[in-house]
């Protein structure tokens, strides 16, 4: 955890308290992310109260990571430049989030993800198929789509968490988050979020913002709870995916500003084996 976070944290923050800390501190989040979702990700970070920076140029990425509060490495479109930028950024010592998009299915990103794991991400966020593939237990899903359920990835999530010393967040109808010892489930959310480009990718970015102001476990849980509540609120107003995308950004802002209801979405799960 960086010095800025240590100045503002108690031993454990609830999701609501973690979002309040984010709004108070406006962490700087470096995003090395895929070209499809850059705009949506930046807007999501702004909506929750963080400061996004899409700095993914080799020669600058490592320097910028040194001043950022959190870093996202998303492997959705891993060009040669982005691969080099990611290698630089994860060496800076700043807490970082790995989003292993479509690993197991495609060889370049799969090899890069395996390489980056040695640099101990604070959080790994993915769907069940991605987590299984990253742990070497399956071949991956159908591109960015999961073909496995959250519970199927529970053992793989624990393995990865213990291996990296970080937290693994498995996204699904009920999210599963573990540090290898404790397991937490986050309930709720709306399926419209899966029909908007950048829903999952921006979730990883928000985790990177939160990891700048709280522990990795708190960050993953708080971001997951925020997305569950905000997606439900947006869906209640939307007529379809287009209006949902706009409503979701508004909901992220509103829920992050008044986050009391987030805590009710979190429940301890039985310890993973």
Q: Binding site for ATP, residues?
A: 125, 171
Distance set, CA 130 to CA 41, 81, 104, 156 (Å): 20, 23, 7, 10
- Taking the CB of residue 271, how many other CB atoms lie within 10 A of it? 11
Q: Which H or E run includes 131? A: helix 128-134
Q: In angstroms, rounded to a whole number, what is the distance separating the alpha carbons of residues 32 and 101?
A: 13
Chain centroid to CA 16:
17
Annotated binding site for substrate: 54, 198
Question: Are 99 and 200 a contacting pair, CB within 8 Å?
Answer: yes
Provide the b/e sequence for 229-258 (b: ≥16 CB within 10 Å).
bbbbbbbeebeeeeebbebbbebbbebbee
Annotated binding site: 54, 125, 171, 198
Q: What angle do CA 112, 114, 120 make, to 5 degrees?
A: 105
Would you say the C-alpha torsion 228, 224, 206, 135 has a positive or negative sign?
A: negative
């Amino acid at each position: 955890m960086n010095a800025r976070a240590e100045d503002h944290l108690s031993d454990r923050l609830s999701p609501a308290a973690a979002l309040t800390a984010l709004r108070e501190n406006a962490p700087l989040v470096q995003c090395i992310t895929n070209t499809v979702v850059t705009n949506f990700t930046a807007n999501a970070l702004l909506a929750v109260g963080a400061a996004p920076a899409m700095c993914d140029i080799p020669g600058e990425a490592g320097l910028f990571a040194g001043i950022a509060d959190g870093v996202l490495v998303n492997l959705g479109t891993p060009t040669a430049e982005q691969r080099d930028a990611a290698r630089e950024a994860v060496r800076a010592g700043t807490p970082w989030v790995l989003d292993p998009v479509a690993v197991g299915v495609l060889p370049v990103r799969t090899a890069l993800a395996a390489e980056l794991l040695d640099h101990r991400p604070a959080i790994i966020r993915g769907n069940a198929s991605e987590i299984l593939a990253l742990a070497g237990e399956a071949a991956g899903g159908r591109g960015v789509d999961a073909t496995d359920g959250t519970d199927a990835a529970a053992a793989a999530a624990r393995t990865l968490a213990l291996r990296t010393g970080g937290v693994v967040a498995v996204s699904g109808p009920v999210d599963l988050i573990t540090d290898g010892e404790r397991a937490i489930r986050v309930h709720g959310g709306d399926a419209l979020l899966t029909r908007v480009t950048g829903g999952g990718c921006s979730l990883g970015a928000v985790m990177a913002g939160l990891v700048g102001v709280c522990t990795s476990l708190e960050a993953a849980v708080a971001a997951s709870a925020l997305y569950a509540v905000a997606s439900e609120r947006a869906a209640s107003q939307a007529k379809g995916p287009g209006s949902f995308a706009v409503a979701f950004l508004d909901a992220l802002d509103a829920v992050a500003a008044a986050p009391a209801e987030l805590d009710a979405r979190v429940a301890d799960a039985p310890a993973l084996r």
